[in-house]
Amino acid sequence: MADSPKKPPANGPKGRDPRKERNQSGNGLWYLLVFGVVGLLVFSTMSQGRSGKEMSLSEFKRQVSENLLNSRNVYELTIGPTQMTWQDKSIEEVRKNDVTAERSYVALWGVGDEARNDLQKLLDGKGDETREPIEYKAAPTPSPWAELMPMLFLTALMIGVIIFMLRRLGGAGSAMSFGRSRGRLYAQEDVSVTFEDVAGIDEAVEELKEVVEFLKTPQKYQSLGGRIPRGVLLVGPPGTGKTMLAKAVAGEAGVPFFGLSGSDFVEMYVGVGAARVRDMFQQALQRSPAIIFIDELDALGKVRGSGAPGGHDEREQTLNALLVEMDGFSTDHSVIVMGATNRPETLDPALMRPGRFDRHVLVDRPDIKGRAAILKVHSQKIKMSDDVDVQRLSKLTPGFVGADLANLVNEAALLSARRGDKKVTMQAFEDGVERVMAGLEKSSRIIIEEVKRRVACHECGHALVADSLPNTDPVHKISIIPRGMGALGYMLQLPEDDRELLTQSELESRIAVLLGGISAEQIVYNETSTGAQNDLQRATDLARRMVTEFGMSPRLGRMFYSESQSSPFLTGSGTVVRDSMHSEETLREIDLEVKRLVDEAYRSAYEVLMSKRAVLDQLSEELFEMETMTAEHMHKVIDQHRDGPKIVPGTSAALTDASQSADGEATEAADQDAPEAADG
């Protein structure tokens, strides 16, 4: 699954995003408004500010009375409503002598009419004939509109700023948009993925093509009495392409497509999630027919009753609103809901019933044919060498999903670029498979010789048991170069085909292969190390599942004893441990059966390695020198020590050959040492 490399960007040749341009223009308007308000305030302050020397009214009167201020040093005296101003030189003197006049002012705020009359009498020289009158004039009275215009403009500007801020705060994802849906409306030009870009899951594509066709030509189905599915649920492991299928539907449908996550509904405020559900359906109804896609539906649709008593949990109220909108009293059938989850077992039964999610589409791991198709789609983005065999790569990647294969192609391209290759080679793909499965190679890590030899012996024990026992996967490579987290070496097995079922003998052989490393250490060094911890854990877990889940214990019978419920699509997580439903005697019997299976597998591995001790020693020595050994080289070493005809690995003849070639001393040593080592 991949985007087609030949499609132009959805937003034009230059890849411009109109949403980003709108945001930039909105930010520019915001800055313009802020600067306008600040500038207006500064201008208003400056215009109303008083320039020159300030003097109190009483001081002005005293100096006039004492003739310190008179008609020879007071010019252009102007009395206004709020202040009185003058200058010490006349305008003619300033112009003639090119000098600067000093201005002064007296604030008249709060001065009454009586005081103003006294001031005018003082300036007129009344009451004192020795003083010359000082000429003055009244300031022109401005019109009321001239006085109100700045304040009105400032008020309107502030109101505009407040409205603009409220609109920005009220947008999607903001702190004030509590009850608004966070669903994003995708236009046709915003989605570049179509069904042609989806590979490896043909059955799921066909199911969704029918939904798209119904939206385009509903009369074709309605004429026969059929109705459109109200909901489509995509289930499957992570990375299989559920979200990409939804994108393809958005690109093909030709109708409005709302996309959001299940966690977008849940908030800490009670009732917000339900309001968002109603708002989302209302928006979709206004643009109907429409599609609503909810990714990670399990965040919203978990089984009710697990919250607080009384059903007042916010998530439950949100789920109730979704149930009513999908199939309630006033339901609109022109809105289709698509959901995606990898935990369908946690969803509420009312959400899963027909009438809400009518159609459940399984998006499973691709088979070998599907992996080849996915690799072909992703490989269109890179320059591949002619030696790349896509069919062989699909065999080397069992269990890989679309995301894993996309990562593999990218890793191969990066490795080829690091090596200076002009094209991506098959060797780069094989190295990429190892990197994805085993982790990053740590070739610079220094390991002492003794530890390195022990690791070589351990990994060769795994490989030799896997090559000798029946019903095992072929060995692909052995390495003692550290990889990943704490792995000092690894033995890589790759199945030849996809396995849907595993038999009891196959599981027993897998446990024996896991215990081949610790068996080799016991044989060569007569003691074991901590390097087998992961092998023991995996072997014990597999044996316990054989007893408790698969009914492969003759002693306990064909019953299911497991006390944990795990997700069918999630590995390593999603496990719910229930209270024990078994008696102490039954639990003890389970432990004894698990121990028996592990002991028998260890004894089987021990016998094989004791019978091929010379092969084990030579393989360990050569792996110590080479650090990485291919399956072809391993088979050459094994053939050097084979007296009879060559036996195909993984067949029953291989085990027969190992049993016949074991001498009496080896068998006796295995019978004496195997149980003790297994206990340790």
Which residue intervals of 380-448 are DSSP H helices? Answer: 390-396, 402-419, 426-438
Residue 373 lies in a domain: yes
* Domain's final residue, options 362, 379, 398: 362
671 pLDDT higher than 70:
no
663 pLDDT higher than 50:
no
CA torsion 21-22-28-34 (nearest 10°) is -160
676 pLDDT higher than 60:
no
Q: In the numeric block, which tokens belong to residue 558?
A: 């064909």
Q: Are residues 356 and 372 in the same domain?
A: no
Q: Are residues 555 and 424 in the same domain?
A: no
Q: Are residues 543 and 632 in the same domain?
A: yes
Which residue intervals of 441-497 are DSSP H helices? Answer: 449-468
Q: Are residues 239 and 351 in the same domain?
A: yes
CATH number assigned to the domain comprising residue 394: 1.10.8.60
Per residue in 151-170, pLDDT (tens digit) is 787 788 788 778 877 776 65
Q: Are residues 358 and 400 in the same domain?
A: no
Overall domain count for the chain: 4
Highest mean pLDDT among 37-51, 286-300, 500-514: 500-514
Q: Are residues 120 and 205 in the same domain?
A: no
Q: Are residues 327 and 218 in the same domain?
A: yes
Return the SS3 of 88: coil
Strands (E), 113-182: 136-138
Res 23: pLDDT: 53
Compute the distance between CA of residue 136 and CA of residue 123 in angstroms, rounded to an integer.
8
| Mean per-residue pLDDT of the chain | 79
Q: Please compute the mean of the pLDDT values over residues 552-561 and round it to a whole number.
A: 90
Q: Are residues 596 and 453 in the same domain?
A: yes
CATH number assigned to the domain comprising residue 282: 3.40.50.300
- Give the full edge-to-edge strand order of the sheet including 475-479: 490-493, 475-479, 628-630
Residue 568 lies in a domain: no
Closest CA to 479 of 490, 488, 487: 490
352 pLDDT higher than 70:
yes
Q: Are residues 419 and 453 in the same domain?
A: no
290 pLDDT higher than 70:
yes
Closest CA to 490 of 504, 476, 502: 476
Q: Are 547 and 590 in contact (CB under 8 A)?
A: yes
Q: Are 434 and 482 in contact (CB under 8 A)?
A: no
Res 156: pLDDT: 83
Residue 679 lies in a domain: no
3-state helix, strand, coil in the chain (%, to 5): 50, 10, 40
Per residue in 245-255, pLDDT (tens digit) is 888 888 888 78
Q: Are 465 and 452 in contact (CB under 8 A)?
A: no
Residue 240 lies in a domain: yes
2 pLDDT higher than 70:
no
Q: Please compute the mean of the pLDDT values over residues 257-266 and round it to a whole number.
A: 79
Write the burial class of residue 537 (CB in 10 Å: 0-12 exposed, 13-18 middle, 19+ buried): exposed
Compute the distance between CA of residue 81 and CA of residue 639 in angstroms, rounded to an integer.
117
Output the known binding site for ATP: 236-243
Q: Are residues 113 and 199 in the same domain?
A: no
Q: Are 138 and 85 in contact (CB under 8 A)?
A: no
Residue 47 lies in a domain: no
Residue type, 580: S
Per residue in 602-642, pLDDT (tens digit) is 999 999 999 999 999 999 999 999 999 999 999 999 998 87
Give the largest CA-CA distance in the chain: 150
375 pLDDT higher than 80:
yes
Per residue in 448-465, pLDDT (tens digit) is 889 999 999 999 999 999
184-186 vs 257-261, strand pairing mode: antiparallel
Res 59: pLDDT: 87
Please provide the DSSP assignment of 614-645 as one string: HHHHHHHHHHHHHSEEEHHHHHHHHHHT--S-
Residue 670 lies in a domain: no
668 pLDDT band, cuts 50/70/90, is very low
4 pLDDT higher than 50:
no
6 pLDDT band, cuts 50/70/90, is very low
Highest mean pLDDT among 212-221, 328-337, 472-481, 595-604: 595-604
Q: In the numeric block, which tokens belong to residue 657?
A: 């050959």
Res 209: pLDDT: 86
Residue 11 lies in a domain: no
Share of the chain above pLDDT 70, in %: 76
* Domain's final residue, options 383, 414, 438: 438
Res 602: pLDDT: 97
238 pLDDT higher than 50:
yes
Output the known binding site: 236-243, 458, 462, 535
Q: In the numeric block, which tokens belong to residue 633?
A: 């080289």
CATH number assigned to the domain comprising residue 604: 1.20.58.760
Res 656: pLDDT: 44
Phi and psi at residue 6, in whole multiples of 5°?
A: -90, -5
Q: Are residues 510 and 453 in the same domain?
A: yes
Residue 175 lies in a domain: no
Other C-beta atoms closer than 10 Å to the C-beta of 446 total 5
127-131, 221-225, 307-311: least confident range: 307-311
Q: Tell me the HSE value of 272 on the side-chain side, using a 13 A CA sphere.
A: 15
pTM of the model: 0.67
CATH number assigned to the domain comprising residue 131: 3.30.720.210
9 pLDDT higher than 50:
no
Q: In the numeric block, which tokens belong to residue 18?
A: 């109109």
Q: Please compute the mean of the pLDDT values over residues 502-517 and round it to a whole number.
A: 95
Residue with tokens 């700023």: 161
Compute the distance between CA of residue 216 and CA of residue 210 in angstroms, rounded to an integer.
10
Cite the active site residues: 459
Q: Are residues 375 and 231 in the same domain?
A: no
Res 466: pLDDT: 95
100: containing domain: 53-144
* Domain's final residue, options 110, 127, 144: 144
Compute the distance between CA of residue 244 and CA of residue 106 in angstroms, rounded to an integer.
78
